[in-house]
Amino acid sequence: MIEIGIIGGAGYTAGELIRLIIHHPKTYIKNIVSQSHTGKLIHLIHQDLLGEMENVKFSSDLSKKIDIVFLCSGHGQSRKELNHISENIKVIDLSQDFRMKIQSVFKSRNFVYGLPELQKETIKKSNNIANPGCFATAILLSILPLAKNKLLEKDIHISAITGSTGSGRRLSETNHFSLRNNNISAYQIFKHQHLKEIEQAIHQVQNNFYSKIYFVPYRGNFSRGIITTLYTHSIFSLEKNREIYEEYYKNHPFVNISDVNIDIKQVINTNKCILYLIKEKDQLIVISVIDNLIKGASGQAIQNMNLMFDLDETCGLKLKSIRF
């Protein structure tokens, strides 16, 4: 069994991670660290775990006898945590601290960008993974087949909407019910923090991409899920573009291409990304949907763990969507 530690165990991402890991057939959670809730019963914070982790409490310190640790403390905290973690322990960091190559080294640790559909074989050989951002995941899965075939020639335009869980568990003005309910708003237009990792990944597979990416993110009035709509110039027919996407994702079990229009509910509670392609004149439109807490965070982290420990990529992640 893979023995697991989790740091920053009280947030939404950690809650989903715990829920998935306790049903994973090859893992065991050794302890879950939360400085703000040390000594409290875990199911009192993550109430959906009532009946599954009734007598387990948050710890103050990480066990030294673990195989891998998931860092869920939030942005800017991971480097502090790593100072107290043995270099023999594998790490998956769910913050943005190590996603950019310029920031990917910490002491003897080299972090690999953990998007399996971009570099699965590299992840398999790595001991340190920087889990991608949720918007970045949904958007890159819309773009990678084009970039791989050197087909990105013009500007890329993207709009995307995310649920309130994307803002984290701590209450703030942007995830307060009074603002979110019956409302929608744009934010960080053209300068969202995930743009850098999107551009970095594109250049990794198409180094001659010099056009611009225009990204408009929106806050949605629902709790979880992301839908993105991307369009860019394409000389190929819809049928040819679909062939390109199907070929790229033929060995990636969590990406599916739909024949009909898609919606967020198709992926909620799953590690799937579903894509839908449309062609209008010279523009290829790609719609993408993911669950921001699973494929956009905790599920993708487990997918990376499976690859790191030479398990089936889908182990513990064969989940059905909550459609109705």
Say what the pLDDT of residue 73 is: 87
pLDDT of residue 209: 94
Q: How is 79-102 classified by DSSP, letter by letter?
A: HHHHTTS-TTSEEEE-SSTT-SGG
DSSP code for 221: S
Rounded-to-integer distance, Cα 227 and Cα 240, Å: 24
- The predicted structure's pLDDT at residue 178: 63
**Phi and psi based region of residue 172 (left: phi greater than 0; alpha: psi -120 to 50; beta: remaining):** beta
Question: Residue 281: which region, alpha, beta or left (left: phi > 0; alpha: psi -120 to 50)?
Answer: left
> Hey, what CATH topology would domain 134-293 get?
Dihydrodipicolinate Reductase; domain 2 (3.30.360)
Is 134 designated active site?
yes
According to the model, what pLDDT value does residue 88 have?
Answer: 93
How far apart CA 199 and CA 156 sit, in angstroms, is 11
Predicted local distance difference test score (pLDDT) of residue 40: 87
**CATH fold for the domain made of 2-132+295-308:** Rossmann fold (3.40.50)
Domain range summary for the chain, segments of one domain joined by +: 2-132+295-308, 134-293
Q: Which of 72, 134, 273, 315 is catalytic?
A: 134
pLDDT of residue 44: 87
Q: Which residues, given as ranges, of the chain have pLDDT below 70?
A: 166-178, 180
Look up residue 245 and give its two tokens.
Answer: 């996407």
Q: Report how far residue 73's alpha carbon sits from residue 131's, in angstroms, rounded to the nearest whole number.
A: 13
Output the pLDDT for position 175.
60
Cα-based distances in Å from 104 to 53, 89, 99, 107, 112: 35, 17, 6, 10, 7
pTM of the model: 0.94
